[in-house]
Amino acid sequence: MYIYFMKKVGIIGASGFTGAEILRLCASHPDLQVEIAAADSMSGEKVSNLYPGLSAEYGDLVFAPTNIQTFEDCDLVFLCLPHGASQELVPHLKDTIEYLVDLGADYRLKDQSLYPLWYDAPHSNPHLLSDFAYGLPELFREEVKESNLIAVPGCFPTAATLALAPFVESGSIETKRLIVDAATGVSGAGRAPKENTTFCTVDENFTAYGLLDHRHTPEMEQVLSQKTTEEVSVLFTPHLAPMTRGILATCYAQPTVNMDTDSALEVLTNYFEKEPFVIVDERAPSTKATFGSNVAYLTARVDPRTGYLIVISAIDNLGKGASGGAIQCANLALGFEETKGLPTTGVTP
């Protein structure tokens, strides 16, 4: 007689927005059961008090302190922490937890020398960087399937690399002068209050930030470099938009082959035709269409006047750009159907 057991899930950093989104998605997942939701800043508080929308599923769940020993019975742990925090925990977790999925930046970059340059501190355990698969299944599915240590991409790199990788891989664009302009919702800044994310600052406002030095830049270059033998450089400018969730990335490149709008759309369509979470359409994508889903929406244009290729990508920064992408990776690593527990429709209106 076959006895079925759900996989036991632990979340570290569960009180943040990505942790809360993991909780929401696990509530609808038939094979994942949250056992521990750790959050030192909220330890002892009910999850439902912080996030009333999770009350129906987690009415009695209490945020626990981050005690490594309490996770020993978990099959899978999601790390939803600020940069630097996962570096301290992973060496202690990896030998007792079968699967670790890190939503932070600590194990995304493979070159340890990039951490002091972009994150202002050396990596504390660089020997583990090569052990982590980069968790973007549309580009690195086999690596994710075969790994029990997964680093989920940043939200901006998810949107930008999905848009540009098909053209980089086909050798149809100049890779040294890629431009990415992207707008994000305020939830990308995290739950902690900040002066630049208060309602009065953000409402009816649109600002650029991280000029020339945003930390997602080397991540984009790393991913795209794996799809070509050519040198890759990206000029990335993020913008903060007065919305809660969503990313809209507009990417510019110079074609190296004869290309028009129809052929550019064909490149995207052929590349992603079997992908359950990528929609290619002639219509310009919108962030509202992605709200609450794990789907990326893409379109492309070639401007006959300037010759530039424009590729536009829209995702939910907390969905496909973080927690949804993390669940997608966990599904693959655990041998589940890749789409299990993941919504493919946005919330409308």
Active site residues: 155
Q: Are strands 309-315 and 247-253 parallel, antiparallel or unpaired?
A: antiparallel
Residues 6+ apart with CB under 8 A from 82: 13, 104, 190
Run of H or E including 301: strand 296-302
Q: Rounded distance, CA 205 to CA 293, Å?
A: 26
Tell me: cis bond preceding 153? Omega within 30 of 0 counts. no
CA-wise closest residue to 34 among 4, 66, 77, 72: 77
Q: Rounded distance, CA 14 to CA 79, Å?
A: 8
Q: Rounded distance, CA 181 to CA 207, Å?
A: 12
Cα distances (Å, whole numbers) of residue 4 to 1, 23, 32, 164, 338: 10, 22, 12, 42, 19
> Which amino acid, residue 227?
K
The C-alpha angle 108, 77, 339, rounded to 5 degrees, equals 80
* β partners of residue 151: 102, 134
Helices within the chain (DSSP H only): 17-27, 47-50, 55-58, 85-93, 114-119, 137-145, 155-169, 199-202, 217-225, 261-272, 287-290, 324-334
Other Cβ atoms closer than 10 A to 100? 26
